């Protein structure tokens, strides 16, 4: 896959070369489809689907996704001065198609929202509002990304109702773009207990996150990348 030459300032985007690490026997590395660590998952996703090109991470935080590499081609956006640009991810200060790939991982439900406001802004208080936050952020990601989106999604529960957010996001993307996920990777936190209700486990998906990977060869209309 080839990408257009990047036009952003060098302070934001560095070298785009990212060779796949060889297997000890000389064969290409065999990546897993489930990971314990988000940085390992991101390393695999970039190597397999986006080995070159500029990236905007619209929920950069401390940049932990790029602990294994790739930071040199990432423009990190956050409401705190922890990345490269301080901005609201629902109103990105970039022109359309400014980056090859957008990474999206909005904050999840945070109780009353006040404890974490310095880190996440006013966090949503219900699982439905969390999903609405995804829709607003993904709208901007679709605008600024010219080749693909990587979105990390975790399901949730309000009381006794299961909220299958990864299905809602996939359906929203299908309605907006006509695209199915190009691929899916999974994070599994094996030590995280299931959600309890009145002392009884009721919710297994608490420790599972889905990386929905979208890749297209053109926009207006969207046309998916073929394997």
pLDDT score, position 136: 93
pLDDT score, position 31: 79
Estimate to the nearest angstrom the gap between the alpha carbon of 196 and the chain centroid: 27
As for how many domains the chain has, the answer is 1
E strand or H helix at 217, and its extent? strand 208-218
Residue located via tokens 């640009």: 85
Report if residue 207 sits inside a domain. yes
Q: Does 221 sit behind a cis peptide bond, omega within 30 degrees of 0 on the bond before it?
A: yes
Task: Spell out the alpha helix ranges (H) of the chain.
Answer: 38-49, 117-120, 127-144, 165-177
Residue located via tokens 């996440």: 120
Report if residue 26 sits inside a domain. no
* Rounded Cα gap, residues 56 and 126, in angstroms: 27
Report if residue 12 sits inside a domain. no
CB-based contact 159:109 (threshold 8 Å): no
Q: How far apart are the first and last CA of the chain?
A: 10
Residue located via tokens 């109103």: 91
Report if residue 4 sits inside a domain. no
Q: Give the CATH number of the domain where residue 63 resides.
A: 3.40.50.150
pLDDT score, position 1: 43
pLDDT score, position 177: 97
Report if residue 22 sits inside a domain. no
CB-based contact 56:23 (threshold 8 Å): no
Range of the domain at 39: 34-224
Q: DSSP assignment of 50-111, as one string?
A: -SSS-EEETT-TT-GGGTTS-GGGEEEEESSTTSSEE--TTS-SS-TT-EEEEEE------T
CB neighbours (10 Å) of residue 6?
18
Report if residue 106 sits inside a domain. yes
Report if residue 13 sits inside a domain. no
Successive 10-residue mean pLDDT values, the chain, 227 residues: 42 41 52 87 94 96 94 94 93 97 81 57 74 93 98 82 90 97 89 57 72 95 90
Report if residue 8 sits inside a domain. no
pLDDT score, position 48: 93
CB-based contact 95:146 (threshold 8 Å): no
pTM over 0.85: no
């Amino acid at each position: 896959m080839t990408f257009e030459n990047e036009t952003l300032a060098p302070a934001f985007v560095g070298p785009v070369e990212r060779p796949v690490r060889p297997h000890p026997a000389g064969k290409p590395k065999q990546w897993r489809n489930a990971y314990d660590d988000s940085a390992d998952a991101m390393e695999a996703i970039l190597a397999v689907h986006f080995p070159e090109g500029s990236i905007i991470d619209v929920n950069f935080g401390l940049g932990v996704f790029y602990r294994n590499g790739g930071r040199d081609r990432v423009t990190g956006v956050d409401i705190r001065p922890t990345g490269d640009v301080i901005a609201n991810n629902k109103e990105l200060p970039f022109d359309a198609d400014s980056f090859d790939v957008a990474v999206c991982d909005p904050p999840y439900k945070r109780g009353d929202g006040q404890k974490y406001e310095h880190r996440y802004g006013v966090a949503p208080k219900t699982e439905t509002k969390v999903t609405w936050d995804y829709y607003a952020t993904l709208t901007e990601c679709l605008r600024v990304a010219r080749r693909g989106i990587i979105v990390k999604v975790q399901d949730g529960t309000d009381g006794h109702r299961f909220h299958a957010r990864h299905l809602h996001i996939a359906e929203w993307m299908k309605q907006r773009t006509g695209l199915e996920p190009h691929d899916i990777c999974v994070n599994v936190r094996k030590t995280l207990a299931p959600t309890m209700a009145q002392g009884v486990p009721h919710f297994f998906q608490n420790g599972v996150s889905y990386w929905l990977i979208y890749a297209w060869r053109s926009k207006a209309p969207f046309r998916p990348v073929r394997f």
